[in-house]
Amino acid sequence: MFRVSTNMFNDDMQYRLRRKEEELSSIQAKIANQSRIRELRDDPLAASHAVRYDSFITRLERFEKNTLDAREHYEFVNGYMRQANDIMQRVRELAVQGANGIYTQEDTAKMGVEVNELLKELASIANASGVDGKYLFAGDKAFTMPFRISEGTVDGLGREAPVRVEYRGAGAERRLEISDRTYSSLDIGGGEAFWAEKMIVASSTDASGYAVPAETSIYIDGVEIPVNMGDNVRTVAAKINDSAAPVKAYIDPETRGIVVEGTEPHLIRMEDAAGEGEVSVLQDLGLIRGNSEQGAPNWAAGARVSGGSLFDVVISLRDAMLNGDQQFIGGQGLGGVDQAMDNLQTRIADLGSRAERVEAVWGRINMEIPNVTESLSREAGLDLASASVEFNMLDMAHKAALQTAARIIPSTLLDFLR
């Protein structure tokens, strides 16, 4: 049994007023957030859908940024590669001109001077960096200058000039996720873009009696190739051929050593599995002398290596022009330039294909974002017109309740003491 007193009216009125104030605060918060779901209990099913839609939109926005970054990077790299192609086109014109028998050695020497300057510009392009300070053609070693230029005295030139250009970068392994579990390769390494001939690395070590002493892995162009204990050299060659590495392997019938040949012009990179106690298969087979931490060629002393870079071709052509060797200019020199240009143009086309793919993905993402946003709005969005009407009704009811309470709550002793 409750005792009837003046406090009963006051407590009941305050309770009702607090309920209305809570409703008013809730609708204000929904209007401010433009969402009809303030707490999970408002609509549990719609809230779960809204969380998934919101998460998906966040991922789409991340993918959109990645595609824009990739597209900008491709455009930047493509510009430098096209400049290199234009320079090689000029080198080819000079090679064709120099191969003509009407020119004297003095004339071809003048052409060689121009080729030397073009060589320097090619090296500058190959060592170009982007707006973020990362080298464009260094692969995933983006802060390592990709090409090291060695200068020396060149006969017929009379001054210091590039005599050797070595690639010190790594493979093109940087990737960007452009959609769920879908990646696009970001880089073209200098060992791919600025190469001319298919490389061949032939071991002089007789491996006819070799057997892998323990289970391990070898790496060719960044591709891991597992080998098992007891595998002989022919099994190792077969596993290399079955891998995704752009090379083929076979056994030299004369030396009985293994030979690794590129299936496309590029610098072949080979390493054994690093780590204490690991077996050095490639070293045992006489292909490399050890793993290289600086990206420089690490061929074994007895290995025979052929297949040079674009710079090797241009250096040889320049020297032939300075010496007036027209037979070399029109033969190996011009042929090497054509090979280098073919590879460069292939890489430019590959880069263009990546850019087109990224452009298509960017377009698809920009269609998906509005659709998912519409679904999110349907699940959790707030009808502002209805919310405004409800807010005004609650506000009017709250004010009316306050006025009514002021009239019906009886006066207290304090009112008489004023």
What pLDDT was estimated at residue 7? 64
Name the burial class of residue 32, with classes exposed (0-12), middle (13-18) and buried (19+) by CB atoms within 10 angstroms of its CB: exposed
Residues 213 and 246 in one domain: yes
Phi, psi dihedral angles at 135 (to 5 degrees): -70, 135
Residue 110: pLDDT band (50, 70, 90) is very high
In the listed set 325, 350, 368, which residue is the last one of a domain according to the structure?
A: 368
> Does residue 275 fall inside a structural domain?
yes
> Does residue 59 fall inside a structural domain?
yes
Residue 411: pLDDT band (50, 70, 90) is low
Contacts (Cβ under 8 Å, ≥6 apart) of 404:
none
What domain count does the chain have?
Answer: 2
Name the burial class of residue 91, with classes exposed (0-12), middle (13-18) and buried (19+) by CB atoms within 10 angstroms of its CB: buried
> Does residue 35 fall inside a structural domain?
no
Residues 60 and 207 in one domain: no
Element (H, E) at 62: helix 44-98
Location of structure tokens 């401010």:
32
Residues 90 and 158 in one domain: yes
Q: What is the CATH number of the domain that holds 217?
A: 3.30.70
Location of structure tokens 């060797």:
325
Above 80 in pLDDT, residue 308? Answer: yes
Of 65-74, 97-106, 193-202, the range with the lowest mean pLDDT is 97-106
Residue 345: pLDDT band (50, 70, 90) is very high
Average pLDDT, the chain: 83
What pLDDT was estimated at residue 408? 65
> Does residue 171 fall inside a structural domain?
yes
What pLDDT was estimated at residue 122? 95
Hey, how many other C-beta atoms are within 10 angstroms of the C-beta on 269?
23
Residues 126 and 153 in one domain: yes
Residues 71 and 217 in one domain: no
CA distances from 292 to 169, 271, 272, 274, 287 (A): 11, 8, 10, 11, 13
Residue 348: pLDDT band (50, 70, 90) is very high
Q: What is the CATH number of the domain that holds 349?
A: 1.20.1330.10
Above 90 in pLDDT, residue 126? Answer: yes
Domain enclosing residue 256, as ranges = 200-295
> Does residue 239 fall inside a structural domain?
yes
Do residues 236 and 251 lie in contact, with contact meaning Cβ atoms separated by under 8 Å? Answer: no
Residues 173 and 322 in one domain: yes
What pLDDT was estimated at residue 291? 73
Mean pLDDT to the nearest integer, 183-193: 87
Do residues 298 and 288 lie in contact, with contact meaning Cβ atoms separated by under 8 Å? Answer: yes
The predicted model scores a pTM of 0.77
In the listed set 368, 391, 406, which residue is the last one of a domain according to the structure?
A: 368
What pLDDT was estimated at residue 14? 67
> Does residue 250 fall inside a structural domain?
yes
What pLDDT was estimated at residue 218? 93
Mean pLDDT to the nearest integer, 102-117: 90
> Does residue 9 fall inside a structural domain?
no
Above 90 in pLDDT, residue 235? Answer: yes
Above 90 in pLDDT, residue 282? Answer: yes
What pLDDT was estimated at residue 169? 81
Residues 65 and 159 in one domain: yes
Percent of the chain residues past pLDDT 90, beyond the cut: 45
Residue 276: pLDDT band (50, 70, 90) is low
Do residues 378 and 15 lie in contact, with contact meaning Cβ atoms separated by under 8 Å? Answer: no
Residues 68 and 155 in one domain: yes
Residue 278: pLDDT band (50, 70, 90) is confident
Percent of the chain residues past pLDDT 70, beyond the cut: 76
**The pair of three-digit structure tokens given for residue 289, joined into one six-digit string:** 């002398």
Residues 342 and 212 in one domain: no
Residues 204 and 241 in one domain: yes
The 8-class DSSP code of residue 210 comes to -
Mean pLDDT to the nearest integer, 143-151: 89
Residues 224 and 287 in one domain: yes
- Angle at the Cα of 24 (from 23 to 27), degrees rounded to 5? 85
Residue 36: pLDDT band (50, 70, 90) is low
Residues 171 and 76 in one domain: yes
What pLDDT was estimated at residue 41? 61
